Amino acid sequence: MRQSGRINFLLIGAIVCVALLAVVIFAGRESPSTVGARFMSALAKGDIKTLTDMTYLRGENREQIEKQWKFAVEEVSPNYLFRWDINHGRELSGSTASVSIKVWRNAMSQSTYDEKFELPLVKNAETDGKWKVDVTGINREMYPGLPR
Protein backbone atom coordinates (compact mmCIF):
# COMPACT_ATOMS: atom_id res chain seq x y z
CA MET A 1 0.00 0.00 0.00
CA ARG A 2 1.40 3.39 -1.05
CA GLN A 3 1.09 6.44 1.03
CA SER A 4 0.07 9.71 -0.62
CA GLY A 5 2.73 12.43 -0.71
CA ARG A 6 5.69 10.06 -0.55
CA ILE A 7 8.74 11.08 -2.62
CA ASN A 8 10.79 8.65 -4.71
CA PHE A 9 14.32 10.03 -4.34
CA LEU A 10 15.73 7.64 -6.94
CA LEU A 11 13.35 8.99 -9.60
CA ILE A 12 14.14 12.61 -8.70
CA GLY A 13 17.89 11.86 -8.82
CA ALA A 14 17.54 10.27 -12.27
CA ILE A 15 15.60 13.28 -13.60
CA VAL A 16 18.22 15.70 -12.26
CA CYS A 17 21.04 13.64 -13.83
CA VAL A 18 19.33 13.60 -17.23
CA ALA A 19 18.73 17.37 -17.04
CA LEU A 20 22.39 18.04 -16.13
CA LEU A 21 23.59 15.81 -18.95
CA ALA A 22 21.39 17.67 -21.45
CA VAL A 23 22.74 21.02 -20.25
CA VAL A 24 26.36 19.83 -20.59
CA ILE A 25 25.78 18.45 -24.09
CA PHE A 26 23.96 21.49 -25.47
CA ALA A 27 25.95 24.15 -23.61
CA GLY A 28 29.25 22.73 -24.90
CA ARG A 29 28.37 23.51 -28.51
CA GLU A 30 29.09 27.04 -29.56
CA SER A 31 27.00 28.56 -32.28
CA PRO A 32 28.72 30.22 -35.26
CA SER A 33 27.31 33.59 -34.14
CA THR A 34 28.89 33.22 -30.70
CA VAL A 35 32.27 32.36 -32.21
CA GLY A 36 32.00 35.27 -34.65
CA ALA A 37 31.18 37.67 -31.82
CA ARG A 38 34.13 36.46 -29.74
CA PHE A 39 36.47 36.82 -32.72
CA MET A 40 35.28 40.34 -33.56
CA SER A 41 35.51 41.39 -29.91
CA ALA A 42 39.10 40.12 -29.74
CA LEU A 43 39.89 41.93 -33.00
CA ALA A 44 38.47 45.20 -31.67
CA LYS A 45 40.49 44.85 -28.46
CA GLY A 46 43.66 43.70 -30.21
CA ASP A 47 43.70 40.48 -28.14
CA ILE A 48 46.42 38.54 -29.97
CA LYS A 49 46.12 35.39 -27.82
CA THR A 50 42.38 35.01 -28.47
CA LEU A 51 42.79 35.84 -32.17
CA THR A 52 45.51 33.20 -32.44
CA ASP A 53 43.35 30.61 -30.68
CA MET A 54 40.38 31.31 -32.94
CA THR A 55 42.21 31.49 -36.28
CA TYR A 56 42.42 28.72 -38.84
CA LEU A 57 45.16 29.05 -41.44
CA ARG A 58 45.87 25.90 -43.40
CA GLY A 59 49.50 24.83 -43.11
CA GLU A 60 50.41 27.36 -40.40
CA ASN A 61 51.33 26.51 -36.82
CA ARG A 62 50.36 28.49 -33.74
CA GLU A 63 53.61 30.49 -33.59
CA GLN A 64 53.32 31.58 -37.22
CA ILE A 65 49.70 32.64 -36.73
CA GLU A 66 50.57 34.59 -33.58
CA LYS A 67 53.42 36.36 -35.37
CA GLN A 68 51.06 37.41 -38.19
CA TRP A 69 48.45 38.71 -35.73
CA LYS A 70 51.12 40.63 -33.81
CA PHE A 71 52.15 42.31 -37.05
CA ALA A 72 48.53 43.13 -37.97
CA VAL A 73 47.50 44.46 -34.56
CA GLU A 74 50.67 46.16 -33.32
CA GLU A 75 52.37 47.39 -36.49
CA VAL A 76 49.83 47.78 -39.30
CA SER A 77 46.78 49.01 -37.40
CA PRO A 78 47.52 49.89 -33.76
CA ASN A 79 45.06 52.82 -33.82
CA TYR A 80 42.44 51.40 -36.19
CA LEU A 81 38.96 51.85 -34.70
CA PHE A 82 35.87 50.15 -36.01
CA ARG A 83 32.41 49.19 -34.86
CA TRP A 84 30.73 45.90 -35.64
CA ASP A 85 27.39 44.14 -35.30
CA ILE A 86 26.44 40.50 -35.95
CA ASN A 87 23.60 40.10 -38.45
CA HIS A 88 23.28 36.33 -38.29
CA GLY A 89 25.26 33.12 -38.35
CA ARG A 90 24.36 29.97 -40.21
CA GLU A 91 25.83 26.51 -40.37
CA LEU A 92 26.30 25.59 -44.03
CA SER A 93 27.36 22.00 -43.34
CA GLY A 94 28.72 20.05 -40.40
CA SER A 95 32.17 21.50 -41.00
CA THR A 96 31.55 24.97 -42.43
CA ALA A 97 29.59 28.00 -41.31
CA SER A 98 29.34 31.69 -42.07
CA VAL A 99 28.67 34.70 -39.90
CA SER A 100 27.31 37.84 -41.54
CA ILE A 101 28.46 41.06 -39.88
CA LYS A 102 28.15 44.79 -40.39
CA VAL A 103 31.33 46.81 -39.88
CA TRP A 104 31.70 50.56 -39.62
CA ARG A 105 35.34 51.18 -40.59
CA ASN A 106 37.08 54.29 -39.27
CA ALA A 107 34.49 54.53 -36.53
CA MET A 108 35.54 58.03 -35.41
CA SER A 109 34.73 59.55 -38.79
CA GLN A 110 31.31 61.15 -39.21
CA SER A 111 31.10 59.89 -42.76
CA THR A 112 31.42 56.23 -41.84
CA TYR A 113 28.72 53.80 -42.92
CA ASP A 114 28.00 50.13 -42.37
CA GLU A 115 29.47 47.56 -44.75
CA LYS A 116 28.55 43.90 -44.94
CA PHE A 117 31.29 41.29 -44.45
CA GLU A 118 31.32 37.54 -43.92
CA LEU A 119 33.37 35.53 -41.43
CA PRO A 120 33.89 32.00 -42.78
CA LEU A 121 34.17 29.35 -40.06
CA VAL A 122 35.54 25.81 -40.25
CA LYS A 123 35.34 22.89 -37.87
CA ASN A 124 37.43 19.79 -38.60
CA ALA A 125 40.16 17.54 -37.20
CA GLU A 126 42.75 20.32 -37.60
CA THR A 127 40.64 22.63 -35.42
CA ASP A 128 40.04 19.96 -32.74
CA GLY A 129 36.32 19.95 -33.53
CA LYS A 130 35.90 23.63 -32.60
CA TRP A 131 34.68 26.45 -34.81
CA LYS A 132 37.58 28.61 -35.98
CA VAL A 133 37.63 31.60 -38.30
CA ASP A 134 39.21 30.97 -41.70
CA VAL A 135 40.97 34.32 -41.95
CA THR A 136 41.97 33.79 -45.59
CA GLY A 137 38.28 34.02 -46.51
CA ILE A 138 37.73 37.46 -44.94
CA ASN A 139 37.64 40.46 -47.25
CA ARG A 140 40.92 42.38 -46.77
CA GLU A 141 39.06 45.71 -46.65
CA MET A 142 37.52 44.85 -43.29
CA TYR A 143 40.74 45.15 -41.25
CA PRO A 144 44.21 46.26 -42.33
CA GLY A 145 46.93 43.62 -42.35
CA LEU A 146 44.85 40.48 -41.79
CA PRO A 147 47.00 37.31 -41.73
CA ARG A 148 47.30 35.43 -45.01
Complete DSSP assignment for 7-67? --HHHHHHHHHHHHHHHHHHHSSPPHHHHHHHHHHHHHHT-HHHHHHHEE-TT--HHHHHH
Q: What are the residue ranges spanned by the domains of the chain?
A: 32-137
**pLDDT score at 4:** 63
Q: 70: part of which helix (H) or strand (E)? A: helix 62-70
Each residue's pLDDT tens digit, 80-99? 899 999 999 999 988 999 99
Q: What is the pTM of this model?
A: 0.77
The fold of 32-137 is Nuclear Transport Factor 2; Chain: A, (3.10.450)
